[in-house]
Structure 1
């Protein structure tokens, strides 16, 4: 690797790491930020803001791909992703500066959502530019290895955001006192016992520090990228007058090129996306919310698995240079689909043995089928009020595996636990004190029956669950085994994600390459991947099995294996992307 090639990779990768870092900060701190900007509004308004924040994170990204992909094919790779990093960096810094609702009123959450939308647009343009730029500088027989450095950036950005949050949170909370919670009028909120409600310093103001610190990362990224030259493939194309006048129409408006966008989406990126989200985000969600490991321990274990597994991106990128992109990516999808069920069950058994044993208890939900809905709720705003939905949601949140049988029409759902039957309630038919009383009675009876059956409902009393005291407290058999299992999941991520940039670059000609690869990549990762947690939860609630949500990732991954095997061209790694036919 020459000095210039190293500089190209450093400039592209460093900037993209910082973009992912900025993007992940909001996701990691969404609950804390929401309390600053949204909680003063009525429920309906909060729901709208939640929907917009969700849209910014996932739905907007493909539109960024269209906007900046088109610019990248028209004016060049370098200047386009200079724009994306500037937009991302400034948006993130302003979030850290933005006053809360108590200071600016309704303008504050509106500006926050606008900034979040800008982040989504910028990220939609960043990845394609970085991938294309590096690939067009790389030797033909090393494109997989060179672009694999770009593939590490999303994982490293996530890792960087987790580490910064953990460090800042620990320092701020240890050195600064908690502060009172204020209502919309600026008055202190009181607890039921008459004391002032307090929140930790990090939740009150410390969360802004990681956002403000991003301005330093922006300065470094801009400095590095301003030293870069335009990619040789684009310069050659421009000199020959072969640039596209309408890259979007050329990329997607005719079947000759449009079919490759569909092949890229369904035969490569959809499966890659669900494996990527399962191995990183869903694994973290599963450890925290399903098997009840505390958030600090979960973040520590995931961080270690990211550290240990990240080298896999370079290994599989390099391997794809030798045996091809197709067998590596599709092989990763296939192995993931075949092993997810045993691996996630093993994770439960290791991380929380008491919960694993309790799940052998037979629990039966008896309900009118017409009373049960599919609880798909990506924004967290939908209300599921039927007796069946309430019963299934309660069991799913407590990580209980249950069997559902059909009950008589019109009758409320019941839960049978070791011979004890608890009747659910229909929240749509109750209100006020009656609703509160029904909920309290139901929750109390369910918890009592589950506890008697052996479910460890109180984390403080569960001595079997994994717990880390600090970042380096992983050297016990239980925690090391968890790190190994999660590192395996990360290695699956690296197998499907390491070669994907090179594969997408090689599918499209130079004149529409930025546009062509950006859209299927961000639809695959933003929509197929972004919807994974909500879809998995809904499937688990519907089936009554905490592992059933894995079927979403498995089915999509297998779909990609089949479509990719049939339609992704063989040996695309041998294509000359500088050749005349590829302009």
Structure 2
């Protein structure tokens, strides 16, 4: 049986079912591997935050050094909206494929450089300054990644599987953090924490170059999306996509910003803050902390596409509401469960939070893409996504650690997560359901 060669079944070329499935696997792999590389590079910083604090900041006060490390992490997010403006506009004007190739080149190069930087002991205060510069470049490139990969998958996906296909953005994103956390866990288990602190962290950042080359090759082997090719053939590519987004689609931009608040905070709590939180505040040893994080992130990776599929069947809103409500009700109890000090309790707590993160992520990627028309989709998502991530996500590790210092309450970060979930829940309830709608073509 043949089916038309467009995401929503409108076109002239015909593919067989097997050909369509093979193409979809190729697209998911290319988008996913590139996304994996992007977030493996980006996430290593968070996983190794305590190690970076030892090498790039004054170590007399470990808590202050860790806060400084998280401060540099947040600095990278300052550049994400700028990167989103740059790469988002480029993606809507010249295409998704070429833009995503450039994104991965910049990120991989910046991450490799991070691994060869001289330390505080070698050059003093210049070391953290160089670290900030590299993080700014990394953040600039990251501004074009998530929205671009989501656009690519959503525009290739069949309309009745858009949630499932788009969810692979987060599958590969969490896989990257699992790989990073798992690699650190394996390294410390086999060679010890001292080797990791001495030279192992540099070796992990050096992996950015070969991984980046692989991701670039896969992305450039793709054709651009059927949806983008369609508007290009019709001469409907937006000359000034950002102006169109802000002037005509500002309500959709606001909804998208609200959607991303919980995603931003939830991701960076679980992916970046959690390893150091378990070590510094809950007094788990380094190896156990990495094990808890790795297991929890692996659970999210497995569950995300299942919730994406569920959102195709029952709608985006019900699934996103489940995720947001779960964070509101259970974040504080799960952190208390972690605080019991037992390994199994910490794993269970991490998985509970992971279920709600997976539910929210599984539906949200498609929901964002469905808010905007094809000729401004990449740029619109990039603007909204990165404003929200910069405002709420980038400060998550630093602010969460600061809440503990200010209040003396080890579980205080829960209040920040719960607040983000409340904001997002209100926005989701007010949004329209888009799961059964075709992608809008022109704005």
Q: TM-score range by the shorter chain?
A: 0.7 to 0.9
- Give per-residue Cα distances to partners, 1:426-473, cap 9 Å, x unaligned: xxxxxxxxxxxxxxxxxxxxxxxxxxxxxxxxxxxxxxxx4xxxxxxx
* Structure with bigger gyration radius: 1
2:46 to 17, 24, 27: 27
2:422 to 553, 558, 569: 558
Q: Please state whether the residue corresponding to 1:207 is helix, strand or coil.
A: helix
Indicate whether 1:501 and 2:368 are aligned. Answer: no
Q: Which runs of 5+ in 2 are unaligned?
A: 1-19, 60-64
> Equivalents in 2 of 1:271, 1:258: separation in Å?
20
1:481 deviates by 3.9
Q: Please state whether the residue corresponding to 2:366 is helix, strand or coil.
A: helix
**Where do residues 89-104 of structure 1 align in structure 2 (5 Å cutoff)?**
89-100=108-119
1:340 to 331, 335, 349: 331
> Equivalents in 1 of 2:280, 2:66: separation in Å?
22
> Equivalents in 1 of 2:51, 2:279: separation in Å?
17
Q: Please state whether the residue corresponding to 1:496 is helix, strand or coil.
A: helix
1:272 deviates by 2.9
Partner residue in 2 for 1:237? 231
- Give per-residue Cα distances to partners, 1:468-511, cap 9 Å, x unaligned: xxxxxxxxxxx334322211111111111122111111001111
> Equivalents in 2 of 1:537, 1:166: separation in Å?
23
* Contact 1:273 1:528 (C-alpha < 8 Å) held by counterparts: yes
* Contact 1:100 1:108 (C-alpha < 8 Å) held by counterparts: yes
> Equivalents in 1 of 2:287, 2:175: separation in Å?
19
1:545 deviates by 3.5
Question: Structure 1 stretch 537-546 or stretch 488-497: which is displaced more?
Answer: 537-546
Indicate whether 1:569 and 2:435 are aligned. Answer: no
> Equivalents in 2 of 1:547, 1:98: separation in Å?
35
- Give per-residue Cα distances to partners, 1:397-434, cap 9 Å, x unaligned: xxxxxxxxxxxxxxxxxxxxxxxxxxxxxxxxxxxxxx
1:562 deviates by 1.8
Indicate whether 1:324 and 2:315 are aligned. Answer: yes
**Where do residues 269-418 of structure 1 align in structure 2 (5 Å cutoff)?**
269-349=260-340, 351=341
What RMSD over aligned residues (CA atoms) do the two structures have, in Å?
Answer: 2.7
Q: Please state whether the residue corresponding to 1:271 is helix, strand or coil.
A: helix
Partner residue in 2 for 1:360? none
> Equivalents in 2 of 1:274, 1:249: separation in Å?
28
Q: Please state whether the residue corresponding to 1:508 is helix, strand or coil.
A: coil
* Contact 1:11 1:224 (C-alpha < 8 Å) held by counterparts: yes
Partner residue in 1 for 2:7? none
* Contact 1:279 1:493 (C-alpha < 8 Å) held by counterparts: no
1:55 deviates by 4.3
Q: 1:119 to 1:336 in 2, by over 3 A?
A: same
1:49 deviates by 8.2
Q: 1:31 to 1:343 in 2, by over 3 A?
A: closer
> Equivalents in 2 of 1:285, 1:493: separation in Å?
20
Q: 1:304 to 1:517 in 2, by over 3 A?
A: same
Indicate whether 1:214 and 2:78 are aligned. Answer: no
Q: 1:149 to 1:57 in 2, by over 3 A?
A: same
Q: 1:342 to 1:103 in 2, by over 3 A?
A: closer
Q: 1:333 to 1:49 in 2, by over 3 A?
A: closer
* Contact 1:8 1:228 (C-alpha < 8 Å) held by counterparts: yes
> Equivalents in 2 of 1:481, 1:50: separation in Å?
28
Partner residue in 1 for 2:244? 250
Q: Which runs of 5+ in 1 are unaligned?
A: 41-45, 175-199, 352-465, 467-478
* Contact 2:76 2:137 (C-alpha < 8 Å) held by counterparts: no
Q: 1:290 to 1:83 in 2, by over 3 A?
A: same
- Give per-residue Cα distances to partners, 1:307-331, cap 9 Å, x unaligned: 2332110011111111111121122
* Contact 2:170 2:301 (C-alpha < 8 Å) held by counterparts: no
1:57 deviates by 2.7
Q: Please state whether the residue corresponding to 1:2 is helix, strand or coil.
A: helix
Q: Please state whether the residue corresponding to 2:332 is helix, strand or coil.
A: helix
> Equivalents in 2 of 1:533, 1:102: separation in Å?
25
Partner residue in 1 for 2:91? 72
Partner residue in 1 for 2:387? 523
> Equivalents in 2 of 1:235, 1:83: separation in Å?
20
Partner residue in 2 for 1:512? 376
- Give per-residue Cα distances to partners, 1:270-302, cap 9 Å, x unaligned: 133333344444444443333221221011122
Q: 1:334 to 1:173 in 2, by over 3 A?
A: closer
1:54 deviates by 3.6
Q: Please state whether the residue corresponding to 1:521 is helix, strand or coil.
A: helix
Question: Structure 1 stretch 528-537 or stretch 276-285: which is displaced more?
Answer: 276-285
> Equivalents in 2 of 1:63, 1:72: separation in Å?
14
Q: Please state whether the residue corresponding to 1:307 is helix, strand or coil.
A: helix
* Contact 1:283 1:486 (C-alpha < 8 Å) held by counterparts: no
**Where do residues 79-90 of structure 1 align in structure 2 (5 Å cutoff)?**
79-90=98-109
* Contact 2:262 2:324 (C-alpha < 8 Å) held by counterparts: yes
Q: 1:94 to 1:78 in 2, by over 3 A?
A: same
> Equivalents in 1 of 2:235, 2:369: separation in Å?
21
